[in-house]
Amino acid sequence: MSFEGAIRVLQEKALSCKGVKYAPDAVPEGMSSFPFVVSYPERGNLSAESGNLTRELHTVITEFHVAPRAMLLEAVEAAKPYIGEFFRKLTLDPKLDNQVDTILMSQAQPVVYEFGLLQWASTETIGFRMHITVKLRENADT
């Protein structure tokens, strides 16, 4: 299990969405084609529990940059289906290929998304940003 592994699996799931052309393993300086997906850490909550156990909550942002802002109507229509498709992939694998204990996605702690104008490097795009919180419990000795 690992936080880095969780980000890698999120990128793999994004790349498996129909039509996604680029979902790199590492955060790139720019984008080479559309749709483009990038995942990176947003925030976290780390705590020590009894013994050597740690409890980690990490929120990852996964951004789907579907098309340049200049193609507004086409970009909006193309971006909308990815929200449901990607979320279904998360619900089918809440342990992210055993990289985390679970994705938090209950009504009390949902996966949240924002739709609209995004930016990567100096390029304005249309797409959405998902905030995905994952839980890891690990032995601090490992």
Q: Which class for 17: exposed (0-12), middle (13-18), buried (19 or more C-beta within 10 A)?
A: middle
Rounded to an integer, the average pLDDT of 99-111 is 93
Rounded to an integer, the average pLDDT of 126-137 is 93
pLDDT one-digit tens code per residue, 55-68 = 889 999 999 998 87
Instruction: Report which of 112, 69, 106, 73 is spatially closest to residue 91, judged by C-alpha positions.
Output: 106
- Going along the chain from its start, the domains and CATH numbers come out as 3-139 (3.30.2000)
pLDDT one-digit tens code per residue, 33-60 = 889 999 999 999 888 877 788 888 999 9
Q: What is the pTM of this model?
A: 0.89
- 123-139/53-68 β-pairing: antiparallel
